[in-house]
Amino acid sequence: MVKWAPLYTKMDFISDLIAGVTLGLTIVPQSIAYASLARLPAEIGLYSACTGGFLYVLFGTIRQVSIGPTSLMSLLTLQYIGNVPPEYMLHYLCLLTFLCGVVELLMGFLRLGFLTEIISTPVTSGFTSASSIIIIVSQIRHILGISYKSKNTKDDIYHLFEHFHEFRYGDTILGIFCIIILLSLRQFKNISCKNKTLKKLCWFISISRNAAVVCSSCFVAYYIESSGLKIPFKLTPNVTAGIPSPKLPSFGIYEGNKTISFFEMTEQLGSGFIIIPIVAVLINVSIAKAFATDGITDATQEMLTLSFCNIFASCFNSMPICGAFTRSAVSNASGVRTPFSNFYSALITILALTFLTPWFRYIPKATLAAVLIAAVLVLIDFEIVTVLWKFCRRDLIIVILTLILCLYFGIEIGLLIGVLCNLFHLLYLWARPKINCEKRKNEYGEYLVITPDLGLFFLGTDYLYMFLAKTARDNDKNLPVSVNCCYFKGMDYTAIKSLSMISRDFESRNQQLIFFNVCDFIIKLYKNSGCTNIQFCAIHENVNEYLFNKEINFTRSVTVPIIDTELQEIKYEVKNNEIEDKPLLNENEKNERLLKE
């Protein structure tokens, strides 16, 4: 908690102030836009932007994180409380935010942060792109100035075509114009010019583009109204000024003769208070990984912080909050030094809530839609498709699958199936290890060396069993077979039983079968397994003894166990001894080893 405070310098103060103010210029218009995305009043977005910020100053660990409403949180909020009757909306919203906080608290205490590990980059990419597309499709109606009710993206697309002829010139022109301006201003920060002040100015214009576009649109609307003309585009409804007095969220609704219990409310929220916290933690961890160069993020602390922020925010009519990736990039580029910058941006939000609310009703809906579309357009990951096409088609399939499923069946289903497919591949590697098979020859005769590249647990056991049976059948029946177990990570009961059975089969044919390079702990396990007919040996050299019943000839045949740590030792031995004459294991050691087995 506030680890940065004791070392806080004047330079830190100035840097944070600049970053905080820049952030404020982004967060105010974005919050109003994100609220409209979740079909909530604009002030809810602003409450969400300021309440979390104050707490993040106290508990946050990642300086770049700008906590508040985000497009993903808004989209997920809409998905889970979109169908609630409008009069109860606020109750459900606060409960959702509160429950998200509680689940994050649980995740923190139970150290469930690892849950975010199961969501790989391709799944995240597909999921983010799908969310962006869903948001864009949902906002086109505001750009076109048409209205309809819809439940999901399929509905949206259907209604867009159905109502397309109703589009209004005013909204459409303003909306498209705003998008063009926003996308153009975004490129300003890349302008290279030698004058440093000019470059700084370009950068500042680029960063504050949302505020600039929203203010200009407001001014245009105000000017038209004060000229006595009819405003040709739809405006935002009135915004309530000030911050609401804090109160705990309602655990059940009892109004008049209508009673909705806590359980009915949570049932309505569905899996929302599980999915939203996982996504929130995932985003914060991603931000930490992307910007934190010291590389150390205390995931548990971060989850607890997120939890406090959400629980606190839920008392102020806020929607679920987390770090925003785009704003964190702004914060990073503005030279933020500590999480204190969140204080300034929160302050600016409060100032806006206090003094600017009369002006908010002049914000055109089309402008907000443009802000949203411009913000999420850059989140659609086109680049990953070309990279993965060259890098790994399997990952590309995961991206596309997640994307399509998210669009078609909804975000949770897409996320879930994407993750499952991804995990399936890891299980597949256990089930179908690459098995290398080669014929070797030494002074005693020929033998087969079979090397599975992973093993040996129940999933890969049958496959190895079949492989050994097939190999034995395809080759000479007298050819001894050795299995190199250097890549075995352990062995379970299914595997031991199976090896015992295949050993029995080989025995019944009088064919030699030996497992070598078996680590000590597997040999120990084997002794406790109740099976007795498997030939295990720790090092490669003993293979000769078992396969050909010959004495080991150590001369010049350097024993090289596979495990690298042992390898290093032997390397030193090779350096320090006369390897021609002295075996690496002397007779005593050798006998000891043989006795053990």
Contact set for its own copies, span 409-468 (CB under 8 A): 422-423, 425-427, 429-431, 436, 438, 440, 449, 451, 453-454, 457-459, 461-463, 465-466, 468
Q: Is 194 exposed, middle or buried (0-12, 13-18, 19+ CB in 10 A)?
A: exposed
Element (H, E) at 49: helix 42-59
The yes or no reply on residue 258 touching its own copies (CB under 8 A) is no
One residue of 354, 574, 589, 596 binding its own copies per CB under 8 A: 574
| 394 is a site residue for its own copies (CB under 8 A) | yes
548 is a contact residue toward its own copies (CB under 8 A): no
Region of 75-83, 135-143, 260-268, 562-570 interacting with its own copies (CB under 8 A): 562-570
111 in contact with its own copies (CB under 8 A)? no
CB of 240 or CB of 494, closer to its own copies: 494
Quote the CA–CA distance of 233 and 85 in Å, as a whole number: 27
Q: What is the distance between the alpha carbons of residues 485 and 525, in angstroms, rounded to a whole number?
A: 14
Please report which residue ranges of 256-392 form alpha helices under DSSP H: 262-269, 272-291, 299-314, 325-333, 341-351, 357-360, 365-377, 383-391
Minimum gap (Å) between residue 547 Cβ and its own copies: 15
Which one of 382, 473, 549, 581 is in contact with its own copies (CB under 8 A)? Answer: 473
Task: Decide if residue 3 touches its own copies (CB under 8 A).
Answer: no
Min dist CB 331 to its own copies, Å, is 18
Structure tokens at 8: 């806080």
Quick one: which of 390, 510, 581, 587 contacts its own copies (CB under 8 A)?
Answer: 390
* Candidate list 54, 188, 444, 487; residue touching its own copies; CB under 8 A: 487
Which CB sits closer to its own copies, 131 or 451?
A: 451
Regarding 381 and contact with its own copies (CB under 8 A), the answer is no
- Amino acid of residue 326: T
Query: DSSP character for 353?
Result: I
Is 469 among the residues that bind its own copies (CB under 8 A)? yes
Element (DSSP H or E) covering residue 429: helix 411-431
Considering only residues 36, 318, 517, 542, which one is a binding residue for its own copies as defined by CB under 8 A? 517
In whole angstroms, how close is the CB of 506 to its own copies at the nearest point?
Answer: 8
Interface with its own copies by CB under 8 A: which range of 174-182, 304-312, 319-327, 526-534?
526-534
Alpha helices, DSSP H, located in 334-382:
341-351, 357-360, 365-377
Under rule CB under 8 A, how many of the chain's residues touch its own copies?
Answer: 83
* Sign of the C-alpha dihedral computed for residues 548, 552, 556 and 558 taken in this order: positive
Q: Pairing between strand 258-260 and 253-255?
A: antiparallel
Whole-number minimum distance, CB 309 to its own copies, in Å?
23
The CB density around residue 520, as the number of other CB atoms within 10 Å, is 9
For residues 149 to 178, the per-residue mask of contacts with its own copies, x marking binding by CB under 8 A and - elsewhere, is: ------------------------------
| Nearer Cβ to its own copies (387/413) | 387
Contact call for residue 391 and its own copies (CB under 8 A): yes
Cβ atoms within 10 A of the Cβ of 389, count?
A: 11
471 contacts its own copies (rule: CB under 8 A) = no
Which residue's CB is nearer to its own copies, number 198 or number 387? Answer: 387
Q: Within its chain, how far is the Cα of 333 from the centroid? A: 23
Residues whose CB is less than 8 angstroms from the CB of residue 325 and which lie 6 or more positions away in sequence, other chains included: 70, 283, 286, 287, 290, 379
Min dist CB 440 to its own copies, Å, is 7
Please write down the HEC assignment for all residues of 51-119: HHHHHHHHHCCCCCCCEECCHHHHHHHHHHHCCCCHHHHHHHHHHHHHHHHHHHHHHHHCCHHHHHHHC
Nearest approach in angstroms of CB 172 to its own copies is: 38
Q: Which amino acid is at 353?
A: L
- Read off the DSSP letter of residue 355: I
Question: Which is nearer to its own copies, 19 or 543 (by Cβ)?
Answer: 543
120 scored as a contact of its own copies (CB under 8 A) = yes
110 binding its own copies? (CB under 8 A):
no
Question: Where does this chain touch its own copies (CB under 8 A) — which range of 76-84, 98-106, 326-334, 386-394?
Answer: 386-394
Name the minimum Å distance from CB 296 to its own copies: 5
Cβ proximity to its own copies, 279 vs 459, nearer residue: 459
Nearest distance in Å: CB 342, its own copies: 24
Residue 532 interacts with its own copies (CB under 8 A): yes or no: no
Tokens of 115: 């849950």
Question: Which of 264, 453 has the CB closer to its own copies?
Answer: 453
DSSP 201-242: HHHHHHHTHHHHHHHHHHHHHHHHHHTTPPPSS-BPPP---S
Q: How far is the CB of 63 from its own copies (least distance, A)?
A: 15
Interactions with its own copies, residue window 11-70 (CB under 8 A): none
- Binding of residue 571 to its own copies (CB under 8 A): yes
Q: Which of 557, 585, 593, 597 binds its own copies (CB under 8 A)?
A: 557
Stretch that binds its own copies, among 44-52, 163-171, 286-294, 359-367 (CB under 8 A): 286-294
- Check binding of 528 to its own copies (CB under 8 A): yes
Residue 596 interacting with its own copies (CB under 8 A):
no
CA 209 to chain CA centroid, nearest Å: 28
Q: How far is the CB of 58 from its own copies (least distance, A)?
A: 24
Q: Cβ of residue 102: shortest distance to its own copies, in angstroms?
A: 25
Q: Report the distance separating Cα 336 and Cα 64, nearest Å.
A: 7
Cβ-based neighbour number of residue 284 at 10 Å: 29
CB within 8 Å of 81: residues ≥ 6 apart:
89, 92, 93, 96, 268, 269, 272
Nearer to its own copies, 457 or 548 (CB): 457
SS3 40: coil
Buried b (16+ CB within 10 A) or exposed e, 287-323: bbeebbeeeebebebbbbbbbbbbbbbbbbbbbbbbb
CB of 293 to its own copies, least distance (A): 5
